[in-house]
Chains A and B, each alone.
Chain A
Amino acid sequence: MTAPDITKLIVRTSMKDRAAFDLLYRHTSAKLFGVCLRILRDRAEAEEALQDVYIKIWAKADRFAVSELSPISWLVAIARNHSIDRIRARRRATVELDEATGIVDPTPGPEALTMAAGERARVFSCLDELENDRAAAVKAAYLSGFSYAELAERFGVPLNTMRTWLRRSLMKLRECLER
């Protein structure tokens, strides 16, 4: 399904068109479920999260028009943010979970979000301009939803150091992306 097609379905969903919503679910739920699983690493919780995500999509589809994001990026952002809210709320150590379940790293053949391979190459070449561990911290935060405290523990640095690392890295990353 192409981006314009998904755009149409989101627009129709904002008009409370259930048939469009069903189609949107059919064409995007595997992706969004993949995002929920990646962050939550728990199938039952990811299923609940997925329902919450589509309830938000139903309620907030009209906001898509004021976003600069591509339709899939917009949907994924909802799934990502909701999943991160959930892991923060459950207050279990993500670090332990991650060791327990072993489904942390993207398995072979993960699907990149962006349709434009160029954009993806660009963000990774900008990440390469950062020091290795800092680039790794940015990626771990973004892909796995680690908090500052979890990142500090994983990378063996004080919390404030991690904050400084990450903030500077994000600003450098953006500067590179806008270059």
Chain B
Amino acid sequence: MNPAHDNDPRDDDTLAAEYVVGVLSADERRAVSARIESDPAFARLVDQWEAHLSPMDEFVPAEPPASAKRKLDERLFANGPAEAGSRSSGPAGLWSSLALWRGLTAAAVVAVALLAVQPYLGQPGQPEQGAGRLVASLAPQQSDVHYFVVYDARENDIGLSHVTGERGADQDFELWVIEGDQPPASLGVVPAGTSVHLAVDQALSRKIEQGAVFAISLEPRGGSPTGQPTGPVVAAGDLREI
């Protein structure tokens, strides 16, 4: 497991610190990089060390030559600028990008990763409205169930992208919106599929826009028989504008 020195036992925390401070050999760094990609708990240790040490950083900004950007564009986009263009901001682009989150179970150990993508997603020239599209990560709660949620106020629509975690046979995931001390309100059973949509009525839209929390619970097939969550909350996250 230990990439280098015999008789040199190191715990993960030490290894993460050594990677961040930069003292490891080429082979060790390769091994650590691979581990960051595959081991979310370890990636989090590395992230924490970056956060500890980065205030030490200092550098002299230097303008790179224009040729650097030209070469970068050639390397990135030479084989299909049209494709790159067509993927910008459309729903397909969004979902294929969200699909990249698959396997990113680093999110599992981050309390909540959330992003509000309106107005950033707005197409140029498109009128911006007060409440637009918002994205939240519903991070696992003692489970491996992870969903991404996109709420679109204009369409009264919630899109759910299934990242990880399976429901058992005879069970369903049910999506809830929870506002302050109010009891959770059901948004319905989450249909099976990697990318699904739920309609939202106006009362629920208001709750969402006021900064409600989303939660997913595990329920008997067909949804909670009581109108309130009966099973464990397997994923949760909040949604607010940043």
Residues in A whose Cβ lies below 8 Å from that of B144: none
| B50 at interface by CB-CB < 8 Å | yes
Binds A, one of B20-28, B154-162, B175-183: B20-28
Knowing A16-B93, A68-B48, the reply to whether A29 touches B64 (Cβ < 8 A) is: yes
Q: Among the listed A11, A18, A143, A146, which residue makes an inter-chain contact with B77, where contact means beta carbons less than 8 Å apart? A: A18
Q: Indicate if the CB atoms of A84 and B29 lie closer than 8 Å.
A: yes
> Which A residues fall within an 8 A CB radius of B?
4, 7-8, 11-12, 14-20, 25, 29-31, 33-35, 37-38, 47, 50-51, 54-55, 58, 62-63, 65-70, 73, 76-77, 80-81, 84-85, 88-89, 91, 106-107, 109-114, 116, 119-120, 122-124, 127, 138-139, 141-143, 145-148, 151, 163, 166-167, 170-171, 173-174, 177
Q: A127-B56, A142-B57, A173-B52 are in contact. List 8 more A-B contacts (CB 8 A).
A: A16-B87, A33-B63, A47-B65, A68-B47, A76-B59, A89-B26, A114-B55, A147-B23
Contact B54 A67 (CB under 8 A): no
Asked if A85 meets B29 with Cβ closer than 8 Å, knowing A4-B242, A34-B62, the reply is yes
> Chain B residue with minimal CB distance to A85?
B29
Contact: A114 with B57, CB < 8 Å? yes
**A65 and B61: CB pair below 8 A?**
no
- Let me know if B204 is at the binding interface, CB within 8 A: no
Contact A47 B68 (CB under 8 A): yes
| Known A16-B88, A55-B75; contact A67-B52, beta-carbon cutoff 8 A | no
**In-complex Cβ contact of B120 among A11, A35, A143 (8 A):** A11
Q: How far is the CB of B153 from chain A (nearest CB, A)?
A: 18
State in angstroms the CA–CA spacing of A28 and B24 once bound together: 27
Q: Are B22 and A124 in contact (CB under 8 A)?
A: no
Do the beta carbons of B23 and A107 come within 8 Å of each other? Answer: no
Residue in contact with A17 in the complex, picked from B14, B26, B72, B89, CB distance below 8 Å: B89
Contacts of B67 in A (CB 8 A): 47
- Contact check: which of B22, B25, B71, B89 meets A51 at CB < 8 Å? B71
What residues of chain B lie closer than 8 Å to A50, measured between beta carbons?
64, 68, 72
Residue in chain B with minimal CB distance to A177: B52
The answer to the question of B41 belonging to the interface, with a C-beta cut-off of 8 Å to chain A, is no
Interface residue count on the B side (C-beta < 8 Å): 63
Which of A55, A70, A106 is B58 in contact with, Cβ under 8 Å?
Answer: A106
Separation of A139 and B53 alpha carbons in the complex (Å):
10
Which positions 89-111 of chain B face chain A at CB distance < 8 Å? 89, 93-94, 97, 100-101, 104, 106-107, 110
A170, B104: Cβ atoms closer than 8 Å: no
Chain A residues contacting B209 (CB-CB under 8 Å) are none
Given contacts A12-B120, A110-B60, A111-B59, contact A69 B21 (CB under 8 A): no
Residues of B within 8 A of A138 (CB): 21
Instruction: Using A73-B54, A146-B23 as known contacts, say yes or no to A38 and B59 having CB atoms under 8 A apart.
Output: yes
Let me know if B55 and A120 touch, CB within 8 A: yes
Q: A66-B113, A142-B22 are in contact. Are A15 and B93 (CB under 8 A)?
A: yes
B51 in the interface (beta carbon within 8 A): yes
Residues of B within 8 A of A15 (CB): 88-89, 93-94, 97, 117, 121
CA distance A113 to B57 in the complex (A): 5
Taking CB atoms, residues of chain A closer than 8 Å to B100 are 14, 62
Q: What residues on A are CB-neighbors of B71 within 8 Å?
A: 51
Given the interface pairs A33-B61, A177-B52, the reply to whether A8 lies near B120 with Cβ below 8 Å is yes
Q: From residue 1 to 28 of chain B, which have CB atoms closer than 8 A to chain A? A: 8, 14, 17-18, 21-26
Q: Which of A25, A34, A65, A151 has a CB less than 8 Å from the CB of B59?
A: A34
Please report the C-alpha to C-alpha distance between residue A14 and residue B96 in the assembled complex, in whole angstroms: 10
Q: Shortest distance in angstroms between A77's beta carbon and chain B's nearest beta carbon?
A: 5
B205: Cβ under 8 A from any A Cβ: no
